[in-house]
Amino acid sequence: MPEGFVSAAERAAFIAGLPKAELHLHIEGSLEPELMFELAQRNNVAIPFASVEEVRAAYAFSNLQDFLDIYYQGMGVLHTERDFYDLTAAYCARADADNVRHIEIFFDPQGHTSRGVAFATVIAGITRALDDARTTYGMTSKLILCFLRHLSEADAEATLDEALPYLDRIAGVGLDSSEVGHPPSKFERVFARAKGLGLKIVAHAGEEGPPAYVHEALDLLKVDRIDHGNRSLEDTALVKRLAGESMTLTVCPLSNLKLCVVRDIADHPLKTMLDAGLHATVNSDDPSYFGGYVNANYLAVADALDLSRADLVTLARNSFTGSFLGDAEKARHLAAIDAYA
């Protein structure tokens, strides 16, 4: 056992009680197979699986695109405001069980509007569940609209137009989907417009794509956070820059394992990132597809990389300092972590 823990059970209990924020979560990626079946039935949508077990068996991926194909198919069961409410409410309950006190969650409107579901329907269901989570659990939240990078910049511009009436409920914009071949530079203009509207900026970069994509996210999109960022470690100057700018990386260990970004969880670069002074955080990405919510992600790396109590506290602190909360709220959460630790 590393410093401070006498057993694996004690370490698990420490992680469970640690106040945390989750900064990298695709709400559509929290669709559990049980709910997928329920919504398929409710909406009369055919799905190519006979049982929950069959769905889970199909979740074997060899890269990001393998996963995305099944992820876009899965979200096809979401149609009504109630569906988006149920999806989001289920995730909030799981996050609360992991003592996640603040969430900043992504949604992919183009994955729904392309199927004829209105933007208003998507946002109404998600925000109603987030409002209820605040009342029920005291959980605070921010919503981040992601543009699908395999689609055109014009499509992203049209999506930003659709979001304009709802900017009071949208904290930022992000960039997700198939990374390689769709560099940040493809979206420079739409992100400049979003920034001008006062929105925060994040982007998936360096998950499968090269360090050059991380440079572009910083220089061209002017991101406030990098989602993943793993491949930054291949570029020493970039690591220095990210550390120097206190840039938060939203790292997703079980996602990296399931999408073969790392061969083995023991090869995960999280500890290397922390030791290099990078502001890494631990997140679940698409927990239904990758086998675990936030605490399972903390546990996997704590176990495989022998993380110390101090490392775990740093990760939890980074999750709040890297959030889009105001200074007073950040200070309140950091004080709660210090009191706990």
The site for ligand ADE (CB under 6 A) is made up of 26, 29, 64, 71, 176-177, 204, 207, 255, 285-286
Task: Rank residues 216 and 285 by Cβ distance to Zn ion and give the closer one.
Answer: 285
Minimum Å distance from CB 24 to Zn ion? 6
216 catalytic per annotation: no
- With respect to Zn ion, which residue has the nearer C-beta, 32 or 285? 285
Residue 64's binding partner out of Zn ion, ligand ADE, none, with CB under 5 to 8 Å set by partner kind: ligand ADE
Give min distance, CB of 227 to Zn ion, in A.
Answer: 6
Smallest distance from ligand ADE to CB 196, Å = 25
Q: Report the interface residues with Zn ion, using CB under 5 A.
A: 285
List the single partner that 207 binds among Zn ion, ligand ADE, none, CB under 5 to 8 Å by kind: ligand ADE
Residue 76 Cβ vs ligand ADE, minimum distance, rounded to whole Å: 15
Per the DSSP assignment, residues forming a β-bridge with 172 are: 144, 200
Quick one: 160 or 251, whose CB is closer to ligand ADE? 251
Q: Which residue is nearest to ligand ADE (CB)?
A: 176
CA 147 to chain centre: 14
**Nearer to ligand ADE (CB atom), residue 26 or residue 317:** 26
Q: Which residues contact 40 (CB under 8 A, 6 or more apart)?
A: 46, 47, 77
What's the min distance (Å) between Cβ of 253 and ligand ADE? 12
Query: Residue 29 binds which one of Zn ion, ligand ADE, none, with CB within 5 to 8 A depending on kind?
Result: ligand ADE
Residue 298's CB: how many other CB atoms inside 10 A? 27
Which is nearer to ligand ADE, 242 or 254 (by Cβ)? 254
Please identify which of the residues 28, 32, 104, 207 carries the catalytic annotation.
207
Query: Which sequence positions are flagged as catalytic?
Result: 207
